[in-house]
Amino acid sequence: MGNKRKIKERREEKSLANREAYTRMNFLYQASQTVLMENPVNLELSRFYAFTMKSIGQKLLCKMDPSIKRTICKYCHSILVPGLTSTIRVKAKRERHLVVTCLDCGTLKRFNTCKNYQLWSEQQQAEMKQQPEGQYSGQEQKTQQNKNPGLKHRS
Ligand SMILES: [Zn+2]
């Protein structure tokens, strides 16, 4: 019993630490976007916020959602707003793909637009759903069911 309690306490500590980091990252991302949208002259400040957010994530191993990660330039850390700091083009060469170009440093990002293409993170979630229910703890099961009401019917 003592061991289980310790493990639970450790988990709660870890999730609390991560929650704080995620809150901070969320704030920095929003600040970065707001500052840029208010006045494009603030690009340097916006970059600083985005860079700070990225470094927090790297230090505490907090992964960014792909939808957020795709809006930050890998090289200069500026927020990629179409028409303001980036251009978006659809290219038909090879497989059809999307090219996002950072207007400040010229770095390209290429994204697959294939119909059945799945991100790695989405694939991992699919695998998690297929695991037998006995492997989750009680709390995790509840949150899973809340997020996916249809999960119970499938299995
Ligand atoms: Zn850039």
Give the model confidence (pLDDT) of 40-93 as tens digits.
898 999 999 999 999 999 998 888 888 899 999 999 999 999 999 999 999 988
Residue 37 domain flag: yes
pLDDT in tens, 98-138: 999 999 999 999 998 888 878 877 787 666 665 554 444 44
Residue 124 domain flag: no
Residue 128 domain flag: no
Q: Which residues surround ligand 1, an ion (CB under 5 A)?
A: 73, 75-76, 102, 104-105, 107
Its domain, for residue 35, covers 16-112
Residue 104 domain flag: yes
Euclidean distance between CA atoms 55 and 51, whole angstroms: 6
Residue 98 domain flag: yes
Residue 76 domain flag: yes
Q: Which two tokens stand for residue 130?
A: 């297929």
CA 30 to chain CA centroid, nearest Å: 14
Ligand 1 center from residue 113 Cα (angstroms): 22
Residue 103 domain flag: yes
Ligand 1 center from residue 5 Cα (angstroms): 47
Ligand 1 center from residue 60 Cα (angstroms): 24
Residue 119 domain flag: no
Collapse the DSSP code of 104 into the 3-class scheme (helix H, G, I; strand E, B; otherwise coil) and give the result: coil
> Are 109 and 70 contacting, i.e. CB atoms less than 8 angstroms apart?
yes
Counting the structural domains of the chain, the total is: 1
Please determine, for residue 32, whether its predicted confidence score (pLDDT) is greater than 70.
Answer: yes
Consecutive H or E run containing 106: none
